[in-house]
Chains A and B, each alone.
Chain A
Amino acid sequence: GQQLNQSPQSMFIQEGEDVSMNCTSSSIFNTWLWYKQDPGEGPVLLIALYKAGELTSNGRLTAQFGITRKDSFLNISASIPSDVGIYFCAGPGVQGAQKLVFGQGTRLTINP
């Protein structure tokens, strides 16, 4: 089946640093979703992307839909302590199945 590979698996940064993470697929996606999960909570949708090349921002977060349609990127600028958590990318599975495929997540830790 389709797989999503997220990179890096974990990040340890200083408060105030910018963060970049990416997600690659073995096949073409026509939607990319980025979620954040706080400990003990459910994932919350951050950004949804629907068109190749699309660049969308949500506050300090910016996500891009790769031109090849096989990848997506999430950037966080000027990180703050509440950015700590696990970031997941997701995309639709087999066309028409209306299921999502999730990456393994990128765990972000911030040192104050």
Chain B
Amino acid sequence: DGGITQSPKYLFRKEGQNVTLSCEQNLNHDAMYWYRQDPGQGLRLIYYSHIVNDFQKGDIAEGYSVSREKKESFPLTVTSAQKNPTAFYLCAVSRGRLNQPQHFGDGTRLSIL
């Protein structure tokens, strides 16, 4: 969706290395989300944030960390503790009100070297 920028499109991680995926939005939406998608699978929620300086763990937060220092930015760090990081990572945003749809970026594909 326009207004949501994920970078890079492709990322490679060495063993024991932390990597950070970027998600930026210019929609002035309050809520931001990170999902992981494995081949042939649905979306699993990693972390989400409904307001600056606050975030909550999703269903698979272990091995990941986030920050929300600015409304427009919600970076995701894949730490060395995440033993199976190869996946497609999707960032989403919404107005944050109940039942509001989420809109997605184009994703980052992370692979292990």
Spell out A's residues near B (CB within 8 Å).
Answer: 1, 30-31, 33, 35, 40-45, 48, 50, 88, 90, 92, 95-96, 98-100, 102-105, 107
Contact = CB atoms under 8 A, between A and B. Distances in A.
Contacts of A30: 99
B80 to A, nearest CB: 26
B98 A92 contact: yes
Contacts, number: 58
A44 B59 CA distance: 22
A41 B107 contact: yes
Interface of B: 1, 4, 6, 31, 33, 40-43, 45, 48, 50, 58-59, 90, 92, 94, 96-107, 109
Given A99-B45, A99-B48, A99-B58, A42 B90 contact: yes
A102 B43 contact: yes
B88 to A, nearest CB: 8
